[in-house]
Chain A
Amino acid sequence: MRKIRVLAAKPGLDGHDRGVKVIAAALRDAGMEVIYTGLRQTPEQIVNTAMQEDVDVIALSILSGAHDYLFPEVMKLVRGKGLEDVLVLGGGVIPESDVPAMKQAGVADIFGPGTATSKIVDYIKQNVKRK
C-alpha cells in the first residue's frame, strides 16, 4: 500500500517553523512520507510542489496572521490545478472567528496551538481523499 504523502508548507514571510517541523516529525513517525517546503513560499510555489510531489495532503502553517489572505490564495490555485482531491489543512495562530472563512475557502480543518500531533495523524488517516 502506498504511504500517505504530505506536503508541510510555510506560506508567506513568517519564520516560525517549530510547529511545522514538530508535526512533520510526528507524521513521519506515524508512517507518512513528508516533504517540507522550507520558509517563505508563495502560494504558487506550494501548489507547484504539491503537484510535482504528487501529495495527498497539504498542511499549511502560519503564525503571522496572514492566513486570511494566503490560505484562500492557495485554495484558488488548488482548485485551478484540479487538485480538489488533495486534503488541505491549516495550523498556527488562527483566531477561532476566522475558521469559518477558512473552511469556506476550502481548507478542510484548522488546528490551533496545543493540538496533539496524534489528533492530526488520526484526522489525516480518516479524511485523506486519495486512497
Chain B
Amino acid sequence: MILLQLDTPHKLPALLATISMVLAGCGSSDREISRSSGSDMQVQALDAPFDGGGEIIVSWIEPMDAIDGLQVRFDGFDQSIVDGNMQDIIPLAPTFELEYDVASYQVWRSMTPDEVAMDNKQRRIAAASSAYDIAYENAYAELIQEGVAPLEAGNQASMEAREAADDAIASFKPRTPEPDGFHYTFVTAVPIDRASVMDAFGRGMRTVYGTNLAAQPAGADQQQEKESITNAVKESTGAGVDAAREVFSTHVNKLRVDKLHDADVKAAEAADAAWTAAFKKANDDGRTHQEAVEVADTASDAAFKSTMELYSYRFHVVALDDSGNQIFKSDSTTSIVATDSFFNGAQLPLLVIMLVLCGAVLYFIVMARKGRTLKVRPIAGLKAVDEAVGRATEMGRSVLFVPGIQDINDIQTIAGITVLSRVSKTAAEYDAKVEVPTARSLVMTAARETVQASYLSAGRPDSYNPDLIYYVTDEQFGYVAYLSGMMVREKPAACFYMGCFFAESLILAETGNSIGAIQIAGTAMPAQLPFFVAACDYTLIGEEFFAASAYLSGEADQLGSLKGQDVGKILVGIILLVGCILATIYSVTDSVAVGEIVEYIKNTILS
C-alpha cells in the first residue's frame, strides 16, 4: 500500500464530504485478480552480452493483472481551511492512498544435478541431526526420571538417538521436483519500483488537476467552485491512475544474475569421459579402430548435449503481495547457458579512451616522421645534465646515478635508465666515472647494458668498467645507508636520482647537498617531489621525467609521442570540465537526467 501526498497544502473542509463521495466511484474498479497461472507474465532469460563471462539477465513484464489491483482512495486534504476565500482553493493538496496487490517478485532458477545432490545431502544431514537431538533429549529426560545414573543415561540415550537418526536417514525423502522435472532455487527478491509508480501517478494527476482548476470561471459562486473542484479531483485522479498503469505496462524488470556455472566446461568434461569410455568398450568388443572412433564420437556428442541440458538454467518469476502470498507464478523459461562473452562491454569506455590516446601518440609520431617540426619547451633539468657531468670531470670526481629502488618492471626505473644512457654517454665523452649502485639485480643488468652501449656509441668501449654498476641490497634503508655512506666518503661531484623513490628521497638529496654536489632528480612519485624540489638543483616533475628520453634523444619519433601526450591532456581536460559542469548543474537543479549522466560518467567511464 502506498500513501501519496501532493505537496501543496490546502484546506477546505466544506467540500471534503462531496469530494469523498465523488471519489468513491472513481479509480476503484474491479479488484479481481487472476491468481491462477502466470500466462500474462512473460519471463525472458538472456545470456548477458559483453559481460565478461557467465552472467544472465532475467527480465519480465509486469502483468496487467497487477495494475487491475490498483486502487485510489481519497483521504481528504491535508490541512483545514483558514479563511473562506474561495480563490485560495487553487493549490489544493489532497491526500491519496494508492493500493495495488503485487509488492515484490521472486526470481527462481533451476538447479544443476550437483546442486540438487548437495541440497539433498544437506537436508538429509539436517533431518538426521535434528532427529538425533530430539530423541536424545527425550530419552535422557525419561531415563533420568527413571532414576538411571546420568552417565549411563547419556550412553543409553545416545544409542537410542543414533537409531532415531538412522531411521530419519532411511525415511528421508528427497524433495520432489517441479512438474517440469527440475528443482528450483531462490535467486533473489525484487521489490516493485514503488517510487516510479507514485511518481507517475502524481505527475499524471497534477497536470489534469491544474488545468481544470485554471479553467474555472472568474467570480464563480460557491456552488460553481464546489463543482469545479470536484470535477478537477475526479478527472485528475483518473489521469493519475492511467499514468501509473502506463508505468506498469511499459516497465520491464531486469535482473542480472551473477556468474553461473560454466555449463560448456562441464559438458566438455563429460564428453571427454564418454568418448574414452565408449572407445575402450568398443575396442574391448573387438571393433576396428575406425568403428571405435565413430562409436566414441557419437557417445561423446550425446554426453555433451545431455550434460549441457542438465547444467543450463531455467528461470521463473513469482509475484507476491504485501504479506508474502503468491499471486502469480510465471512459466519457466527454456534452458539457457551462460557463456563467457568474447569482449567485456563494461570496459568499452576505457577501450575508447585508450584508443584515442594511443591513436594520438601514433598519429603525431607518423607526422613527425613525415618531417613536421615539433617544438618542445626547454627543460632546465635536462639541459643541466651536460653541465653536471662536465663539472665532475673538471673536479676529477665521479658521477653518482641512482635509478630508484624499484625493479625493472616499474616504468619509472626504465625512464631513469633512459636518462642514464645519456648521462653515461656524456661521461664517456668527457672520460668521467659514472657509478651506479642499484637496489635490484635486474636493474643492475639493464644498467650495465645501457652504459656499455653508451660507451660504445661514444667511441670508447675500452673505458667501460662494469664493476662501477653493482647491486647493493633490496632492503630500502640498507640501500640508503650504503648510498649516504658512499656519498660522504667519495664525494661525487654530480648526483642523479632518476626513478621511483620513497622515504629515502630526502635523505639522499640532503646528503648530496651537504657534500656540495650538483643534484638532478626525476621521479613520478608525487609525495617525494617536494623533497627533491627543496634539496636538489633541478627536478624533473612527473611527466617531464618521462619526456626526458624524447627530449634527450631529439628524435622526431620520440618528440611526436610527446605531442600525442598533449592531446591526451586536452582530452582529460575536456572530460574534467564537462564532468565538473554537469556535476555542478546536478547539485543546483537536482535534474534527474543530468544526475544520470553524472552517474554514468562516474560509475561507468571512470571506474
A complexed with B:
no
| B positions within 8 Å CB-CB of A | none
| A positions within 8 Å CB-CB of B | none
